[in-house]
């Protein structure tokens, strides 16, 4: 089998690695172009590109697959199947039609729930107790193709988007390797998604992390986890960005945004009153400083307790 792999972020790396370790012939790896990052704005390659080069694979980074010359270049590879995982582009129909065994996609949610660009964060934001991985046959829609396999994964109370994505990546790689031979042998009948159960995840912008203390503490707690590691949940303190790295929801009432001392708890010593309940702060990061325990932060910022943070 000649396989073309398409993927970009960390989530896709275990699937690519598993294909190679499994002895499959990966004839090319498609990923997104290098992007500027960091203070120097130097070009940084995607995680999949770095892994592919380590494995000695050919890498292609077209900005778009909609140009006819890109479709022809891919067709010239004569792939039997395309395997995708968080590639970052919708594949046009002329690309989908190239491999005789179609295009399989590893998606980190239990489709049709949380279609779209940020399914892991969406599951945490929604308060879901479980999420999972879906292996689907791609069509021209956004995560609308029929399903070949699914596996559930529990969402832990301490899970962030980062930690949950890492677990789902491993599950996805394993599930793909279980599903691929069955699909190639014609032993799986694709099952259409139940459109009545569809939900969509939204793109996450940097501004999504700005904390509105008028929201309930439980919702803010979910946001802290969902927006970790990016863009992070943050407020401002003395003109600087103060990120909330880890928090916990607590009962209580009071003026939204007011910082209070927490009594009688070994793990939480400071919190912020919200529209409903208190968001107990566990770890924070002041702009220009390292991440630290909230208790240590308060020791260095003695007038923090009693302050009113902007809503």
299 CB neighbour count, 10 Å cutoff: 12
Cα separation, 83 vs 31, whole angstroms: 12
The pair of three-digit structure tokens given for residue 200, joined into one six-digit string: 């969509």
Cα separation, 124 vs 172, whole angstroms: 18
User: For residue range 224-283, what is the model confidence (pLDDT) as tens digits?
Assistant: 999 999 999 999 999 999 999 999 999 999 999 999 999 877 789 999 999 999 999 999
User: For residue range 24-70, what is the model confidence (pLDDT) as tens digits?
Assistant: 999 999 999 999 887 777 899 999 999 999 999 999 999 999 999 99
State the average pLDDT over residues 131-137. 98
**DSSP type of residue 32:** P
Cα separation, 106 vs 83, whole angstroms: 8
**Which is nearest to 251 in space by CA: 232, 264, 237?**
264
State the average pLDDT over residues 109-135. 98
Q: What does the pLDDT read at residue 42?
A: 87
Confidence category of residue 151, pLDDT binned at 50, 70, 90: very high
Angle, alpha carbons 232-235-236 (nearest 5°): 130
**Which is nearest to 154 in space by CA: 185, 179, 133?**
133
State the average pLDDT over residues 195-208. 95
173: CB partners within 8 A, 6+ apart: 14, 15, 17, 18, 106
State the average pLDDT over residues 207-235. 97
Picking from 9-23, 156-170, 253-267, which range would have the lowest pLDDT averaged per residue?
Answer: 253-267
Q: What does the pLDDT read at residue 302?
A: 85
Structural domains in the chain, sorted by start: 2-197 (3.40.50.170), 206-300 (3.10.25.10)
Q: What does the pLDDT read at residue 38?
A: 75
Burial track 246-277 (b if 16+ CB lie within 10 A, e otherwise): bbbbbebeeebbbbbebeeeeebbbbbbbbbb
Q: What does the pLDDT read at residue 37?
A: 81
More confident residue, 297 or 1: 297
**DSSP type of residue 210:** B
User: For residue range 67-111, what is the model confidence (pLDDT) as tens digits?
Assistant: 999 999 999 999 999 999 999 999 999 999 999 999 999 999 999
The mean predicted confidence, pLDDT, of the chain is 96
Cα separation, 288 vs 282, whole angstroms: 19
State the average pLDDT over residues 159-178. 98
For the whole model, what pTM was predicted? 0.95
Q: What does the pLDDT read at residue 73?
A: 96
Dihedral (C-alpha) 191, 195, 199, 202: value to the nearest 10 degrees? 90
**Which is nearest to 74 in space by CA: 64, 48, 50, 13?**
64
**Which is nearest to 19 in space by CA: 57, 49, 46?**
57
């Amino acid at each position: 089998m000649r396989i073309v792999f398409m993927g970009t972020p960390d989530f896709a790396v275990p699937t690519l690695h598993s294909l190679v370790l499994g002895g499959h012939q990966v004839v090319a790896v498609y990923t997104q172009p290098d992007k500027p990052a960091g203070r120097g704005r130097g070009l940084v390659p995607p995680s999949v590109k770095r892994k592919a080069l380590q494995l000695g694979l050919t890498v292609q980074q077209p900005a778009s697959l909609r140009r006819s010359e890109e479709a022809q270049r891919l067709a010239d590879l004569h792939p039997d199947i395309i395997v995708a995982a968080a590639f970052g582009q919708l594949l046009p129909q002329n690309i989908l039609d190239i491999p005789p065994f179609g295009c399989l996609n590893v998606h980190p949610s239990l489709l049709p729930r949380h279609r779209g660009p940020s399914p892991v964060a969406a599951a945490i934001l929604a308060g879901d107790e479980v999420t999972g991985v879906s292996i689907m046959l791609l069509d021209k829609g956004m995560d609308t193709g029929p399903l070949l396999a699914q596996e559930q994964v529990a969402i832990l109370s301490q899970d962030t988007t980062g930690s949950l994505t890492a677990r789902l990546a491993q599950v996805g790689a394993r599930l793909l390797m279980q599903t691929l031979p069955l699909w190639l042998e014609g032993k799986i009948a694709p099952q259409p998604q139940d459109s009545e159960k569809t939900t969509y995840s939204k793109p996450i912008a940097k501004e999504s992390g700005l904390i509105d203390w008028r929201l309930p503490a439980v919702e803010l707690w979910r946001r802290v986890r969902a927006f970790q590691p990016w863009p992070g949940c943050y407020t401002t303190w003395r003109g600087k960005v103060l990120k909330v790295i880890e928090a916990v929801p607590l009962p209580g009432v009071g003026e939204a945004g007011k910082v209070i001392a927490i009594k009688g708890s070994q793990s939480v010593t400071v919190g912020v009153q919200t529209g409903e309940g208190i968001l107990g702060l566990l770890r924070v990061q002041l702009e220009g400083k390292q991440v630290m325990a909230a208790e240590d932060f308060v020791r260095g910022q003695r007038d923090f307790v009693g302050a009113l943070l902007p809503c």
